[in-house]
Structure 1
């Protein structure tokens, strides 16, 4: 909903009155009409109320309506309070020192602006939550902090410097309810823990390869193996990598020793996400200034601390996508972003060691999911770039920064971009990741596990006919696949016994039977996720 309603009330009225337009869409807009109605437009709600619900023609009345009936949006409130100053909030809380919405507004004003109001002498009333946890993801109840100053329970999930706003739409609630642990236990019941553990090595390599494909860097063998090793060793281990020290260590292991960077950890330079086309720099996203990334990462840490016990897939999505929008590193942000998906799921106890969910493989192997991934990244970056593109310049001279980055990029739109960076709406990202995780567990991992189980049976069947090492049996299987069941001269020369009467026929029949013993599977899925080489075959 890009346009304001015809007869706006609440936040839309305040937008119009103060000419404050948030970059992100308001999740709820309200208007006055002939009859009560709710309309869903592009996932956002347009609420129509009858005349009896119209607030008085005062800013306080419409702000109270926003806090009470709509979904408060921190980006909008931050811009509004910057525009209005403290006067009307101060007057409101002075007039209603025990009113819950006046006290909420006063708390939010101070929290967002860091400017202090005067607390009325007669302030009172029961403690109330800062935000409604039925509308927004909030801090878990045992992590809400009482603020005696305003008699408010601070249940905001982050800090002033980074507090993702996750709206609890019906689609979000379904996505957040995904029972990742139950889906994994279903796999265990079907295939057994031993097979899943043996498949874990392949899945880790598959995830590593796919993450480079997403970044447009395929067939980088050493880098793929290095990142796979990092995921196998570091996922869910030690402190969550969201500090300068822990990120420097993780970044160093991911990038290896050969890097142009002179400094690891939090960047000391400006950064944008983009590409060069015909010698022209195309900017898709501008990241926050390097001076802010430490405080923003701390806000993300606070979010993870304060939402403990809530949906693992929600927490994983916020950690991963929150990180990529902060973009705190000079290099390696995308890999850490995708690392965090598995890292948080492991820490939350829903994916056991050593299993790595190959979520990136689902994205790269399905063109539709790849487009969905790009679209969900655009949820924040596209409207931001529409608002700030005019502030981007490329100087004629380069600047060398202390982390080794050389750049002529300059950005002058920090004031416009700051509330978007700090308070991104990550609800669509949770919905996206929930679907990807579900497909990973119910499609890719199931079909791969079936393939590996059949492969194991086929290998054993070959060894029942001709004694040979596992590695040689794998080569026989690979030859059957590549040569459509015909015995190749190369394999016959390597294993002469295969030329003996009926031996090759017995082997091919046994292999065919081994792969037919599993129930029918979706051929489209099986072909999509068919491994490049049989299990046990090294690169």
Structure 2
């Protein structure tokens, strides 16, 4: 016998874009089994709930997972009557109160029941199991602490799974201090300067635009100038500033889009749609909702906030172009604002994403955690019709028929896997990417110093000689001899080669 939220979903015909992860059934013993991300719980007959709305919903609140998209769809389907009846029957029961609060919070409609006048305050959701608002809001009507991490217009959910909690044990600040102690502040800041450009280049590689040298330089400038400094980064004005910096101020259609958009790929015969973004009419509400999440969670773990803000932004997809790069910009921007990373230090997360087939494949799979089931739910809801030119100048023939229905998913995404991936990427970035770059820079600095002990020269010339020798297997090229006639002196040339080569080949305790 099926019980809990899945029983209600079947009874009321609730079709979800994000499937329920937990299924509960009545059996003989209590056991749990997880398979492919889904959890099956079996309970003995003593757990059997009343076979009505209140019975199954209370069971779900007790033993299953919060699922805001499901709650919003269910409340829209059943209306206020079963919740009102439950609240009148047990006005002080915490599960009735939590349900009444959730109904009014999600629907914006007031239930026809009196305010609760007795009983202690209880949390809307568990702080141990979910990311919650840092400063709960008292709701006297229900004697509830509203600790939901967002606002009704946009409230992502992050489950504090064992894997997420393990990933969040990575102490970003301590890891950066260790780098600083190992290599010194000067090397770390010089590494950060180079990594800003590396992050830009890798970000464009993710967008399959690695040959766009001028745009790579522009994005590097945007990162260096605006990360942690731009006012209200999620405001339309700031987003347009970032977009213009990335694409150029002469780019077509800067600012929030006023046209439909999908993420996909073109083939010879047709476009393949991987994800349809929210309709442009609700973009201001969703962005304001995302800002509401940002305000509500200030003081929470920075890695969670950075992941949610960045991935929520890319799903909202508010711009015609540049969404992916702004998405990765927001990771660093959030970490700097939360003082998890010193100003001026850029974590090259894009470089980590492109550093291996595994990280890149996991990035795509992480995006698909939401987009794939979303598109399965709406596979028959879009088509390509007559071409129309929209207010922002975009010609499009995409027609999506279920904007209102899809808002339940767009507003309440589960971003648990996105937090896990981001935390692991950041840990690898600091422990491997940044440490490796610092080692390279330290070796290069040592090579400069040893080369200048043989022959004094400006840094620019020293760098040119070092790179040439390294690239040519410690042999002096004809071009290098022509540029620097001093190298015609065989004894001097030998000493210079030895000085540079030893910097790269001799062991060093710091390295």
Question: Do both share a fold (TM > 0.5)?
Answer: yes
The one of 248, 267, 275 equivalent to 2:257 is: 267
Taking the aligned partners of 2:107 and 2:434, their CA distance within structure 1 comes to 48
Residues 113-164 of structure 1, C-alpha deviations (whole Å, 9 max, x = no match)? 1222112266432211111111211111xx2111122221111111111100
Match of 1:361 among 351, 368, 377: 351
Alignment partner of 1:11 out of 1, 5, 13: 5
Secondary structure at the aligned position of 2:265 is classed as strand
**Deviation sequence 1:426-476 (CA, Å, 0-9, x none):** 000011011111111011111111011001100111111111111111111
User: Equivalent residue for 1:298?
Assistant: 288
8 Å Cα contact 1:178/1:313 also seen in 2: no
* 1:166 alignment partner, SS class: coil
2:278 aligned counterpart, secondary structure: coil
Distance 1:135 1:292 in 2: 30
Provide the secondary structure at the position in 2 that maps to 1:390.
Answer: coil
SS of the residue aligned with 2:92? Answer: coil
Which of 345, 364, 389 in structure 2 is aligned with 1:400?
Answer: 389
Q: CA deviation at 1:259?
A: 1.1
Matched, 1:321 2:315: no
Residue matched to 1:386: 376
Moved more, 21-30 or 104-113: 21-30
| Structure 2 runs not aligned, ≥5 long | none
Distance 1:162 1:441 in 2: 31
Q: Find the residue that maps to 1:487 and give its secondary structure.
A: coil
User: Which one of the candidate residues 328, 338, 363 is aligned to 1:373?
Assistant: 363
1:298 CA displacement = 1.3
d(CA) in 2 for partners of 1:107 and 1:462?
A: 71
Maintained 8 Å contact 2:116/2:141: no
Is residue 176 from structure 1 mapped to residue 168 from structure 2 by the alignment?
A: yes
Which residue matches 1:500?
489
Q: Tell me whether 246-255 or 352-361 shows the greater mean CA deviation.
A: 246-255
SS of residue paired to 1:502: helix
Indicate the residue corresponding to 1:204 in structure 2: 196
Taking the aligned partners of 2:251 and 2:351, their CA distance within structure 1 comes to 26
Residue of 24, 29, 35 corresponding to 1:30: 24
Alignment pair present for 1:63 and 2:52: no
Q: Does 1:287 align with 2:281?
A: no
Q: Secondary structure of 1:318's match? A: helix
Partner of 1:191: 183
Moved more, 358-367 or 241-250: 241-250
Task: Tell me if 1:136 matches 2:139.
Answer: no
Say which of 417, 421, 434 aligns to 2:410: 421
> TM-score when scaled to structure 1?
0.92
Show structure 1 runs of 5+ residues with no match. 1-6, 523-539
The match for 1:525 is none
Residue 47 (structure 1) aligned with residue 36 (structure 2) = no
Shift of 1:518: 4.4
CA 1:151–1:121: 2 relative to 1, 3 Å: closer
Query: 2:178, 2:172 → 1: CA distance?
Result: 10
Q: Secondary structure at the match of 1:231?
A: helix
Partner-residue secondary structure (3-state), 1:273: strand
Other structure's SS at 1:404 match: coil
Change in 2 beyond 3 A, CA 1:122/1:312: closer
Equivalent residue number for residue 509 of structure 1: 498
For residues 178 and 287 of structure 1, the distance between their equivalents in structure 2, rounded to whole angstroms, comes to 33
Residues 16 and 377, structure 2, Cα contact 8 Å, conserved in 1: no
1:85 aligns with 2:79: yes
Cα displacement (A) at 1:44: 3.5
Q: Distance in 1 between matches of 2:18 and 2:226?
A: 35
How much has 1:86 moved relative to structure 2? 1.0
- Structure 1 residue aligned with 2:297, among 296, 300, 307? 307
Q: Within the alignment, does 1:443 sit opposite 2:444 as a pair?
A: no
Structure 2: distance between partners of 1:239 and 1:154: 28
- Kept in 1, the 8 Å contact 2:130–2:157? The answer is yes
Distance 2:291 2:129 in 1: 22
Q: Indicate the residue corresponding to 1:342 in structure 2.
A: 332
- Which of these residues, 215, 219, 230, is aligned with residue 211 of structure 2? 219
Following the alignment from structure 2 to structure 1, what is the Cα–Cα distance between the partners of residues 76 and 169? 37
